Structure 1
Amino acid sequence: MESIIILIFVIGYLSITLEHPLKLDKTVPALIMAALIWAVLAVGFHAGWFDIINTEEQAFNFLSGGEAAEEGFNGTLLHHLGKTAEILIFLIGAMTIVEIIDLHRGFEVLKGAVKTKSKRKLLWIIGILAFILSAIIDNLTATIVLVTLLRKLIHRREDRLWFAAMVVIAANAGGAWSPIGDVTTTMLWIANKVTAMGLIEFVVIPSVVCFALPFLVASYMKPFQGNIEVHAEEDLEAEKLLSSRTMLFLGLGMIVSVPVFKTITHLPPYMGMMLALGVVWLVSEYIHPEEDFTKERRHLYSAHKALSRIEISSILFFLGILMAVAGLESLVYGVVHGEEVGTLRYLAEALQGAIPRESEIWFFLGEDLVVMLLGILSAIIDNVPLVAASIGMYDSPTDSVLWHFIAYSAGTGGSMLIIGSAAGVAAMGMERIDFIWYLKKIAWLAFLGFAAGAIVFLIIERVIFHHA
């Protein structure tokens, strides 16, 4: 019966990865997959076909456990829903703040700062902006902002495609070292697998290498030679509002304050994000974006409008995929070292068992090889379920090398294909970037950065600091 649950997951997963050929929003299979997995789990558990395991490694059998086992099943479901809700509330808060900034045209302040005609200089300016912004407002939002900026600066689509593709590499690299820079790092942070300072300390240098090396190589390539005409300078200045600068710095400042709030209070990150959203919302209610500001125009800049612009389908996708992975984690699949373990833990043991422990590869790399494989897979398969699976697969302590390397690999590995990350999918949709064009022109640059950053990470963690 376990195979039915795995089959549901595989079919759902394939439907998500093939959303473009199927012309089906990936939220649909994610929600159906999660509901069916838990439905089969519930029916099978009560029929005695299989056992359930919670996050504290306690296994429950309905036939022998009775009422206590029933409570264990319900408790496991509620625990996973609670952990998923933490991530979703956090994301809703962050997305709303970014939309409020955008309504007040705060990002025009950044756009007005780009004043160069050199393609090479523009490449580095855009790249550095993407790298820094993605760490603050997340890689998806940073990509949307910068592709919008590129449309105003570069009028030839053929030229713009190259810059947009490079933004994906920089944004994913920038998001990997920040607890709020990527959905996957946010998941690891909320699950208490990494701390904000631990992530920054050990992942920032590999991320810089992952971003800088492809950009250094690209700056000598033909598409980034010569000059462009920057026509939009005057327009950009004219588009700013009285509130643009205030809302930009307030919004970004409040998002950055979330890790500080968690460190001081030891409360979950979503509580800090709720406070941040409340403060930004409060200021947006009283600030005057225009000289002759009237009540009739207030709705144009309100938080209610910002909330209406949030992609709720993305939130529901994360709900579906995370609850589906939680279902797999909760299903007892086999026995390892005399203990019953869930599907994902069993998979982790099988993966590591596939590499002979007597071999030189295991001696030098071991778990790191599995994590690098996870990074490469994240280019093909969505990195959210991969990281959700890894959280269920391993029980290493907070801020261990394993979690830092997973944060780096899952965050940056997705750059190798245009469909491998949220940032890539956003750029693909906005600029109609062709999958094959990206594979031929950009994938090798992304792989170069990923591999170089991974080597630097392992040198820092394993050789310099001798972390186990």
Structure 2
Amino acid sequence: MLSTVILGLVALAFVLIVIEDIIHVNKAKTTLFFGTLCWILAFIFPMNGATSADVSEQLNHNLLEIATLWLFLMSTMTFVAYLNSKGFISELVGRLLPAEFSERKLMFIIAGFSFVFSSFADNVTATLVSIAVISGIKMEAAKRVKYATLIIFAVNSGGVSLITGDVTTLMFFLAGKVTIANLLLLVIPAFFAVSVLALLLSRGMNEHFKIEKVRKPIAFADAVIAGIFVATIGSTLLMNILFDIPPVLTFLFGLGVMFLTYQFLLRKTTSKSILNYVREVEFETLLFFLGVLLLVGIMKEIGVLTHITKLYMNLEPVVANYLIGLTSALIDNVPLTAALLKADLVMPPNEWLMLTYATGVGGSILVIGSAAGIIAMSKVKELTFLTYFRMAGYLLFAYTLGYAGVYYFGQFAS
């Protein structure tokens, strides 16, 4: 009985997210309310003979995962908040972009940049930096939504082909389901799908942008902080691969280095504390993450996610994998991947590659289906669930095209 009630509350929470623009209630408020309510009900009415201690252990496990994500996001966002406030990112982008370019050319520049950058950096950082590029250019609201849509799809597509770019890809790799060599087969179909989406979204966009190349000097301290940011990203990937150090620990260390460096370099020239930039972090986004992950966590604990694996009993793996990708647009792909790995599915390497692509990219279909989407929604005010949903046809086509490409290239997996 309680499982039904919780599922109803989860469904209601997601409906309220969808109609946020109609009811004018912030999505962070609704998800946090329903997420905590579901867990409170789990304590008051324990299921399957569980005790309060059992539920508490389940909650603590979920909170640990959420806290890890929170701290990682806070660290990343603090770096970006500092560099944005100093105008470093906009100045750097201004120097890299040509003085004049078409809307279509910008679309492909954004596609390529987001795809490549997300292969080496985490999706959150790649999204923040890519959104910063379009934020500095004046354009119509509808066009900004198109660019943001492309960024979300490109970021998710770029991260799927390397273990450094996507958590679920790393999970499949560590479980021995895919190899580095096989994952590289995803690059061509994934990038082709992104390119096709860029082509579709750029239809009818014929205007030209002109950027006044007024170079502003970049302060030495800002350049040093940017270097620390880049070094933190690189060391996070390297330390995780070599020593299995959790990314959040390395990024918090990098944040500590940033604080100390700022204090040393600017102790005589400014009275503003570096900690003030932590206050500029979008905590509304973090609260939304908290609420969503609490909802997903309770769904996992009541056993809803395990039912998804029954797809493989009734459908061919090629079809089931495709549908799992669409499911990841509603359910966080990390617990979804964990449930699939625990189900001990038996598939050849090419089908595991298809599942890797599906779980990594399928979340792009809905804006709430991936971290990239949630971050973009918090940064681009024109981007809402409904405005993004209008692009669902393009996104579904690009996802299907990429999946078909993986089906072809997966034949060469060994």
TM-score band (shorter)?
A: 0.7 to 0.9
TM-score normalised over the length of structure 2: 0.80
Structure 2 residue matching 1:285: 3-state secondary structure = helix
Preserved contact between residue 196 and residue 259 of structure 1 (Cα < 8 Å): no
Match of 1:78 in 2: 60
For residues 181-223 of structure 1, the C-alpha deviation after alignment (integer angstroms, 9 at most, x for no partner) is 5xxx44775xx55559968755555355334445357559654
Q: Percent identity?
A: 21
Match of 1:337 in 2: none
Q: Could you tell me which of 330, 335, 356 is aligned with 2:301?
A: 330
Match of 2:84 in 1: 102
Q: Could you tell me which of 70, 73, 77 is aligned with 1:88?
A: 70
Match of 1:246 in 2: 224
Structure 2 residue matching 1:8: 3-state secondary structure = helix
Asked if 1:277 corresponds to 2:251, the answer is no
Once residues 304 and 63 of structure 2 are traced to their aligned partners in structure 1, the CA distance between those partners, rounded to angstroms, is: 18
Once residues 22 and 111 of structure 2 are traced to their aligned partners in structure 1, the CA distance between those partners, rounded to angstroms, is: 31
Preserved contact between residue 106 and residue 247 of structure 1 (Cα < 8 Å): no
Equivalent AA in structure 2 for residue 287 of structure 1: L
Match of 1:228 in 2: 208
Equivalent AA in structure 1 for residue 296 of structure 2: V
Bigger drift between 421-430 and 275-284 goes to 421-430
What's the offset of the Cα at 1:112? Answer: 1.3
Aligned length: 405
For residues 127-175 of structure 1, the C-alpha deviation after alignment (integer angstroms, 9 at most, x for no partner) is 2222233445544554454444335455566766654543343233234
Summarize the Cα distance change of 1:295–1:218 in structure 2 as closer, same or farther, 3 Å threshold: closer
Structure 1 residue matching 2:398: 3-state secondary structure = helix
Match of 1:57 in 2: none
Match of 1:113 in 2: 96
What's the offset of the Cα at 1:433? Answer: 5.6
For residues 77-96 of structure 1, the C-alpha deviation after alignment (integer angstroms, 9 at most, x for no partner) is 32232233222222222222
Match of 1:430 in 2: 380
Once residues 8 and 173 of structure 1 are traced to their aligned partners in structure 2, the CA distance between those partners, rounded to angstroms, is: 32
Match of 1:260 in 2: 238
Q: Could you tell me which of 152, 167, 170 is aligned with 2:154?
A: 170
Match of 2:24 in 1: 23
Once residues 294 and 438 of structure 1 are traced to their aligned partners in structure 2, the CA distance between those partners, rounded to angstroms, is: 45
Match of 1:344 in 2: 305
Q: Could you tell me which of 332, 335, 343 is aligned with 1:388?
A: 335
For structure 1, the residue ranges without an aligned partner over 5 or more in a row are: 52-60, 63-68, 332-341, 356-361
Once residues 425 and 29 of structure 1 are traced to their aligned partners in structure 2, the CA distance between those partners, rounded to angstroms, is: 15
For residues 289-316 of structure 1, the C-alpha deviation after alignment (integer angstroms, 9 at most, x for no partner) is 9xxx7223x44xx2x1221111222222
Once residues 116 and 80 of structure 1 are traced to their aligned partners in structure 2, the CA distance between those partners, rounded to angstroms, is: 48
Match of 1:336 in 2: none
Preserved contact between residue 127 and residue 152 of structure 2 (Cα < 8 Å): yes
Once residues 34 and 449 of structure 1 are traced to their aligned partners in structure 2, the CA distance between those partners, rounded to angstroms, is: 32
Match of 1:335 in 2: none
Match of 1:42 in 2: 43
Match of 1:409 in 2: 358
Equivalent AA in structure 2 for residue 122 of structure 1: L
Equivalent AA in structure 2 for residue 451 of structure 1: T
State the superposition RMSD in angstroms: 3.8
Summarize the Cα distance change of 1:161–1:269 in structure 2 as closer, same or farther, 3 Å threshold: closer
Summarize the Cα distance change of 1:246–1:162 in structure 2 as closer, same or farther, 3 Å threshold: same
Preserved contact between residue 371 and residue 405 of structure 1 (Cα < 8 Å): yes
Preserved contact between residue 18 and residue 385 of structure 2 (Cα < 8 Å): no
Asked if 1:313 corresponds to 2:284, the answer is yes
Bigger drift between 451-460 and 414-423 goes to 414-423
Equivalent AA in structure 2 for residue 369 of structure 1: V
Preserved contact between residue 416 and residue 443 of structure 1 (Cα < 8 Å): yes
Once residues 37 and 318 of structure 1 are traced to their aligned partners in structure 2, the CA distance between those partners, rounded to angstroms, is: 16
Structure 1 residue matching 2:216: 3-state secondary structure = helix
Equivalent AA in structure 2 for residue 115 of structure 1: P
